[in-house]
Amino acid sequence: MVERIGPCLLTAGVGALLTSCGVFGGAKVRYDAAPSPVNNNFHTVLMETTCGGRSQLGYGQSACSLAAGEPYNGELILHTPLPGAIRLIGRLCGVDSAKYHNDVEGSFRIPIAELLDKVPESVTSCVVEVFVNWDLVKGMTSDYPLDGMIGRFYYRRRLEGRTTASMTWGPSPALVGTMQGVGFGQFRSVARGGFPVSEPLELVIKTSKPVLEGTYRLFGCGAGVELGTFSGDTIRLSREALIGPLPGVGGCMMFGYAMGKTAQGEAIHDDLVLGVEVFGKNVMRLAGSVALKDGKVCYTAESSVSVTILNHGTTNQLSTKLEDCFKMPADGKARLGFFTHKGRSVYAVIEGGVVEYVQ
């Protein structure tokens, strides 16, 4: 079957949606006047991790916490502009690899067992840095450099007998959802007129079980939370308590614990890890809107967007228009990404007839 949708001819093949994008001839990359995220330590790759029997979505960050002796499982999924290449580097983890995809191969999918197969036994935590370089879609031209994108994957191997607490960010936890064992967040170094509500303001920790009286601590990043007490199963920590009022641009990890005894006398010892990235004050987030109608995914993009990609499994639909529609995948699940040549991005996660924005 051959169907023309927007500017790109899409051919349905066996197990893949093939694109013949010579029709992009004449399309040019649009100028983005905003600061480059890479130059400001802002991580913009949509990342998904299936690990420990659960799935985790993250904007520029993702994580995996495994119990002592638990085998590697699941995969790391990177939604990027295509065609393009990724580089994965984690010195402590023994990770150093590069992969390339053309415009019909879908997102990068890396099994966790493959990603972490060279981690030394002595290493219980590390960071894998993600670097993305993307190529022009066939037929496009550009007067501007393609700056690329970055991301972070946090790995944690818990000690024997340690359990995990869940973590969410307020006031908008749905943007990332619940993080298990390893939390992560990106923070603006200096806010203009107060912290935007789309950025992390409060970390809510839910322990594995409620306790009568417990203690907690998070340390690292040159700041951290000193020994505190709690009862029940909830600990609330403000952004300022975690990283201070004026954090410097850069990245680090925080480590700690929550422990205590339940009403039945059972002891809990939850492992807490938090990946922190602080980005420059001049970062500007990208905007885009998506609507679902008549079996299509229709969008309107900011004027600086050059490529919009609807990804479903191992297939892609691509457009260089600022307004266009894609055919909805049969199961109603997809990831739509807007990208500029500076590496700015915003994503729409589409599932069950609902659109949720991640940025």
Q: Mean pLDDT per segment of 10 residues, for the chain of length 359 residues?
A: 34 32 69 96 95 88 94 93 92 94 85 95 95 90 94 96 92 69 90 62 94 94 84 93 86 95 96 94 92 94 95 84 94 93 94 85
3-state helix, strand, coil in the chain (%, to 5): 5, 55, 40
Q: What's the pLDDT score for residue 11?
A: 32
Residue 21 φ then ψ, to 5°:
-100, 25
Cα-based distances in Å from 183 to 84, 154, 164, 200, 319: 29, 9, 11, 11, 34
* CB atoms near residue 224 (< 10 Å): 17
Could you give the CA distance from residue 282 to residue 188 in angstroms, rounded to a whole number? 9
Q: What's the pLDDT score for residue 10?
A: 36
End-to-end CA distance of the chain: 35
Provide the 3-class DSSP secondary structure of residue 216. Answer: strand
Q: What's the pLDDT score for residue 175?
A: 53
The domains located in the chain, with CATH, are: 2-33+285-358 (no CATH), 163-279 (2.60.40)
Which residue, 76, 39, 53, 255, is CA-closest to 152?
76
